[in-house]
Amino acid sequence: MTDLEKWQAASAKEVKGKDLDWHTPEGIVVKSLYTAEDANVDPGLPGFAPFTRGVRASMYAGRPWTIRQYAGFSTAEESNAFYRRNLAAGQKGLSVAFDLATHRGYDSDHSRVVGDVGKAGVAIDSVEDMKILFDGIPLDKMSVSMTMNGAVIPILAFFIVAGEEQGVDRKLLDGTIQNDILKEFMVRNTYIYPPEPSMRIISDIFGYTSREMPKFNSISISGYHMQEAGATQVQELAFTIADGMEYVKYGVASGLDIDKFAGRLSFFFAIGMNFFMEVAKLRAARVLWHRVMTNLGAQDERSKMLRTHCQTSGVSLTEQDPYNNVIRTTIEAMAAMLGGTQSLHTNALDEAIALPTDFSARIARNTQIVIQEETGMCNVVDPLGGSYYIESLTQELVDKAWEIIERVEAEGGMAKAVAAGWPKAMIEEAAAARQARVDRAEDVIVGVNKYRLAEEDRIETLEVDNAKVREGQVARIAAVKASRDESACRAALDALREGAKGQGNLLALAVDAARARATLGEISQAMEDVFGRHATVPTPVKGVYAAPYKEDKRWRQVLDGVQAVEHRLGRKPKLLVAKMGQDGHDRGANIISSAFGDMGFDVVAGPLFQTPEETVVLALDSGVDVVGASSLAAGHKTLIPELIRLLKDKGRGDIKVIAGGVIPPQDYDFLRDAGVQGIYGPGSNVVECAADVLRLLGHNMPPLEDAA
C-alpha cells in the first residue's frame, strides 16, 4: 500500500466516506490533497518567459508593488486635497475615479445628469478642472492611473494639456488610461459610442501615445468589472485575455508595429475571496498573455509580459457588520501580492454603503503598508511557487480559460462575441447562480447569511452635496466659455468632427480642442454627431436562479403567493426594474429581473440611463404595480423622490416604489418619508425581498421562516 493510498484510507475513515472534493463555480474539481504528481508543469523562474512566477526577476525583493488608492469625489478641489493627504501618508501613485456624468460624456450642466454630478467620482468638465485636480502634484514625477473608457478622448486630452500647462512635456507623463471599451459593452456599460467607432478611438490612442508618450500605458485591459458583475475567475481570465487580443489586432490593422505599442499595454484584475484561485489566476494570466502575443507575432519579450494592477473586490464587501470588510480586504490584498501584481488598490470598509471616509481610506491604505513593511512577505520572490496545489490550479485555469478563448477566436474575435451577446449572458448566468447560492447559504458570507448580528451599529459615512457640487461646476463651465476664444474653440471642434468622419487622429484633434478650452461635453458631442450614441435594453437570463430551489419550501411559498396575487388581479404582478441616472453597473438589476421572473412576476427590465421622467412614462405604458429603483452611485436621494413626485402628478401614487442597492442606512428614513415602501440593501435575500413585495401588493404573506 503506497503512502498516498494510506492517506486516502485514513481520510475516508475520518470523514466516514464523505466526498472532500470541492466543485468550484469555475467547473474545477479541487482535491483535498495535492502531491508532486499534480504539479507536472515547470513554472520556470521569475522574470523569464512565460513569466508564470512574475514579470521581474527580483519582484518585491527588489521593489514592492505600487500602492494606489482609487479615489475621486465631489469637486476637483476636494479630490486634490484628498490625494495630497494620501500621498503624504505613504500612497505612491494616483488612481482617479470620475463621476458618472464625466464617464458618459456629459458636462455637469446637462439635464440628464442632475443626480450624478460629483457623486461616485470627481466631476471634470474642462482642462481647468484637470489642472485643479493635479495642483501641487508634479505630473513628471507622479504615476497617474485614470479609470475612463467612454469619454477617454477628452479626459486624456485634458490630462495632456494640464501637463503642458504645468510645464511637463508629454513624453514625461507616466501612468495608465483604462481605455477598455469591450468590457463596457459586456458589464460596466459606461460607453458612449457604438462598438466600431469605439475601437477606432482605442487604435488612435495607441498610435498617439506610442509616438508622443513613451512612458504612458495606453490601455488597462480590465477583468475587474467582469468579476464584479458576477463572472467566475475562469470567465474573467478568458474574456480579459481575449479582449487584449482584440485590441492588439486592431492596433496592428491600423498600421502600428506590434512591438511599438504592445509593451505599454497593462491589465486590471479583481481579487475576490477565493484566495488560492486568485493567486493562480494572476499566474495563469501571465502564461496566457505570453502565448497569445507569441501567436500574434510579437518579438520583443516586453510585448509578451503581462503587467497588472489589481483591486480588492467591491462585491465581496457587505453592508452588514462592515468591519468584517477590513478582514476581507486584507485577505484579498495578500492574494494579489502572492499572485505578483504590479500595483494594488485596497477597498475601504464602508464602500458597500457609501464613498470612503478619510478614516476608512487610511485603514485600507495601511493594509498594504503593513503587508509591505511588517510581514516579511516581500523578502522572497514568488513564495507560493512550487506549491503542488498552486501549480496544478494555475494549469487548470490556463486550460479552461484557453477553451473559452478558442471559442471566441473561432467565432471571429471578441468584438463579434460581444456583439452576439454570449459573454454577457454567460456572466449574468454565473451572477444569478452565485446569488442563489448566497440566498440559500450554500456560499457563506459571515454577518450576512451566517453569524448575523441581532442589531447593526451605524457607521459614519461620507456624503457629497450633489446640488452644491453641480452648482459650482455649472458656474465654472460658464466662466470657461466666457473667457475662451470662441471662434478658435469652434474651429477646433469642427476639425474634430471632420476627423471623426475621416482619417484624423482623434486624440491629437481633441488635444487641440482642449487647448482651446472646449468642454468635455462639447468634445464628446462633436464625435457623437458622427458616431451616434449607443444604447441597449437588458435581456434577463431565465431559469438559472430557480434551478437550485426545486425542493425549497420558502421558494414554494413565494411561488404560491405570486399565483394568489395573479388570481386576485387577473394577471401576473408586474415589476419594472428601473436604472435611473448614468450608473451602468447592472448586476443587481439583472439579478432581480432574473430572480423575480423565475418566481412568476411579469418583469419589465428597463433600459439603462433613464431619467425619472422616462421611467414614469415606461411605468405607465407598461401598466406596472411596482417600480424597483436600482441605485449604486449615490443618486438615490435626488432621483427616487423625483420619480415618486412625478408618479403622483400623473395620478398614479398607487404604484409602489421600492429601492435596492448601495444605500446608506442613515438614508432609509429620508427615502421612506419620500414615499419609498421597501428598501433592500447589499446582502438582502432575494426570496425574502419577493415575499415583502407580495405583502406590499396586499397579499397576506406569512414570514418565510414559518415555511421550513
Q: Annotated catalytic residue: which of 103, 183, 534, 585?
A: 585
Q: Annotated catalytic residue: which of 225, 304, 309, 400?
A: 225
The phi, psi pair for 273, rounded to 5°, reads -90, -5
How far is Cα 181 from Cα 192, in angstroms, rounded to an integer? Answer: 10
Residues facing 343 on adjacent strands: 66, 309
Q: Annotated catalytic residue: which of 125, 583, 625, 667?
A: 583
Nearest to 313 by CA among 239, 374, 437, 230: 230
Q: What CA dihedral angle connects 65, 220, 336 and 49, to 10 degrees?
A: -80
Q: Which helix (H) or strand (E) holds 183?
A: helix 182-183
Q: How many helices (H) and strands (E) does the chain have?
A: 27, 16
Residues facing 615 on adjacent strands: none
Q: Which residues of 319-332 are buried (b: 16+ CB within 10 A; e: fewer)?
A: bbbbebbbebbbbb
Question: CB of 295 within 8 A of CB of 249?
Answer: no
DSSP symbols for 561-614: HHHHHHHHHTS--EEEEE-BSS----HHHHHHHHHHHHTT-EEEEPPSSB-HHH
Question: Would you mind telling me the total number of residues written for the chain in this entry?
Answer: 708
Task: At 401, list the grid cell.
Answer: 480559460
Q: Annotated catalytic residue: which of 183, 579, 636, 656?
A: 579
583 is catalytic: yes
Nearest to 327 by CA among 367, 358, 365, 360: 367
Single-letter residue type at 622? S
Q: Annotated catalytic residue: which of 70, 83, 208, 680?
A: 70
585 is catalytic: yes
Cα 255 to chain centroid, rounded = 31
Q: What CA dihedral angle connects 553, 555, 560 and 563, to 10 degrees?
A: -170
50 upstream amide cis, omega within 30 of 0? yes
Q: Annotated catalytic residue: which of 208, 224, 389, 680?
A: 224
Cα 677 to chain centroid, rounded = 29
224 is catalytic: yes
The catalytic residue positions are: 70, 224-225, 579, 583, 585
